[in-house]
Amino acid sequence: MRVLVTGGGGYIGCVLCDHLIRAGHSPVVLDRFFWGRRPLAGVRVEEIVGDIRDLREEWFDGIEAVVHLAGLSNDPTAEYNPEANWQMNAVGTERLVELCKRRGIERFTYASSASLYDTESSANEPERSPIMCDESTEIAPRGAYSLSKRHGEEAILAAADGAFAPVIFRQGTVYGWSPRMRFDLVVNTFIKDASMHRRLFLHGGGWMWRPLVDVSDVARVHVMALEAPLDAVRGQIFNVLEENYQIRQLAMLVAGSFALRDVRVELVEAPLPSLVRNYRISNAKLSRALGFTPSVTVLESIERMISQLPGALEELAHPQNYNVRWMALLEEMHALQRGFRSIY
Ligand SMILES: NC(=O)c1ccc[n+]([C@@H]2O[C@H](COP(=O)([O-])OP(=O)(O)OC[C@H]3O[C@@H](n4cnc5c(N)ncnc54)[C@H](O)[C@@H]3O)[C@@H](O)[C@H]2O)c1
């Protein structure tokens, strides 16, 4: 299939394009390339440099399926410019769905987020285990990012019918190596901090729960959904995770993996951050419907990332690998070059 991958130049997108190619599909990447084009160098993809807020009809010529990843991809970047976040994540998704329907594109997968399960009440008691949420749990998301993702989900589900079979994945926090690396995701951050500072901070003791999943498993589920019988996935929401972990546990796994290499990493208790996220989710539905079993545990991924570190020292320090830091720098550069014209 010729698959349009919006946001295909990002952390998940680069890995997904590789999976699509290996499964015999032809990815066409539509991306603003906020983080540059280097990660896709040498990958056999067609590239469209474009914005999800300014979709052109001709980009959909010959497209048979869409994987929708584009947009601002975490809380800090969404809070940095909530209006741009809304236009990209909520309105952009709505327009993309309209266009797909107009063009008769039936297969569509969407990268939503497990952070939709995070609520005020679970966050207020980080030391208590939150309830296990599944796709039928009522959600009350908070924050610009989660609210825009929920709007995206609602627009997609409202459009599902006999000719449009969208699938929504509520992805846990992702870990693992990608050609476009992100060091602002909890496990990856711990690897970076252990390597650069030999110290990991446990905010509020690190008792909060989080569902986690390897980047290659996320890529795999999107491909599985594109290839599944349409009626098994049409209009369905699926949680995607390997397992739920407490942040404290993750720090211990990372410190332990460094200790096995004779590197001592200190664990330091720190005050609670202003935004506390605390939630646990189940992947039973995905396993039942698509036969999904995660293939890379967090421990295996930690080992792989540590073994890749010697060749990645430059990456660790580069601001392009930290979303909100890079956004702030891009804004500054544009302001200097053009008088103030926002990158957003
Ligand atoms: N990484 C995670 O832990 C995680 C967890 C849950 C959900 N998600 C979702 O998965 C998707 C991909 O996440 P990621 O980690 O690869 O993020 P990323 O930031 O690495 O990738 C996003 C990509 O979208 C592109 N993009 C952003 N705004 C755009 C616009 N207006 N028009 C065109 N392209 C645009 C960026 O250039 C980038 O290449 C996002 O929708 C994110 O919300 C990610």
How do residues 153-202 score in pLDDT, each as one tens digit?
A: 999 999 999 999 999 999 999 999 999 999 999 999 999 999 999 999 99
pLDDT digits (tens, 9 = 90+) for 91-120: 999 999 999 999 999 999 999 999 999 876
pLDDT digits (tens, 9 = 90+) for 14-73: 999 999 999 999 999 999 998 888 899 888 999 999 999 999 999 999 999 999 999 998
Nearest-CA residue for atom 10 of ligand 1: 111
Task: Tell me what the pLDDT averaged over the chain comes to.
Answer: 91
Measured from the CB, is residue 188 less than 6 Å from ligand 1?
A: no
Amino acid identity of residue 183, one-letter, is: F
199 alpha carbon – ligand 1 mean position (Å): 28
Which residue segment(s) compose the domain that 89 sits in? 2-338
pLDDT of residue 339: 44
If you compute the radius of gyration of the chain from its CA atoms, what whole number of angstroms results? 19
User: What is the model's pTM?
Assistant: 0.93
pLDDT of residue 340: 41
Residue 341: pLDDT band with limits 50, 70, 90 = very low
Atom of ligand 1 nearest to the CA of 112: 7
pLDDT of residue 333: 62
Two structure tokens written together for 87: 């236009």
pLDDT digits (tens, 9 = 90+) for 218-243: 999 999 999 999 999 999 999 999 99
Atom of ligand 1 nearest to the CA of 34: 37
The Cα 300–Cα 174 span in angstroms is 14
Atom of ligand 1 nearest to the CA of 92: 31
Residue 297: pLDDT band with limits 50, 70, 90 = very high
pLDDT of residue 329: 72
Two structure tokens written together for 94: 């709505």
Does 61 map to a domain? yes
Most confidently modeled of 80-94, 125-139, 311-325, 328-342?
80-94
Nearest-CA residue for atom 12 of ligand 1: 69
CA dihedral 187→323→147→68, nearest 10 degrees, is: -90
195 alpha carbon – ligand 1 mean position (Å): 26
228 alpha carbon – ligand 1 mean position (Å): 24
Measured from the CB, is residue 85 less than 6 Å from ligand 1?
A: no
The Cα 245–Cα 248 span in angstroms is 8
Atom of ligand 1 nearest to the CA of 73: 43
Give the CATH number for residue 92.
3.40.50.720
269 alpha carbon – ligand 1 mean position (Å): 31
Atom of ligand 1 nearest to the CA of 180: 20
The Cα 136–Cα 36 span in angstroms is 38
Going edge to edge, which strands form the sheet with 173-175?
173-175, 209-214, 243-246
Does 225 map to a domain? yes
Does 50 map to a domain? yes
The Cα 7–Cα 50 span in angstroms is 10
The Cα 99–Cα 343 span in angstroms is 25
Helices and strands (DSSP H and E) totals, the chain: 14, 14
The Cα 332–Cα 41 span in angstroms is 27
Does 344 map to a domain? no
Atom of ligand 1 nearest to the CA of 145: 43
The Cα 77–Cα 35 span in angstroms is 13
Measured from the CB, is residue 8 less than 6 Å from ligand 1?
A: no
283 alpha carbon – ligand 1 mean position (Å): 22
Residue 332: pLDDT band with limits 50, 70, 90 = low
Report the 10 Å Cβ neighbour count for 120.
9
Report the percentage of the chain scoring pLDDT > 90. 75
Residue 213, phi then psi, degrees to nearest 5: -155, 145
pLDDT of residue 313: 67
194 alpha carbon – ligand 1 mean position (Å): 25
User: What domain count does the chain have?
Assistant: 1
pLDDT of residue 238: 98
Give the HSE-up count for residue 191: Cα atoms under 13 Å, Cβ half-sphere. Answer: 29
CB 99 within 8 A of CB 155: no
pLDDT of residue 126: 64
CB 194 within 8 A of CB 271: no
Does 343 map to a domain? no
Measured from the CB, is residue 35 less than 6 Å from ligand 1?
A: yes
Note the helical H segments in 50-200.
Answer: 75-80, 82-85, 92-102, 120-124, 144-159, 186-197
pLDDT of residue 343: 53
Is pLDDT larger for residue 141 or for residue 119?
141
Nearest-CA residue for atom 5 of ligand 1: 173
169 alpha carbon – ligand 1 mean position (Å): 14
Does 25 map to a domain? yes
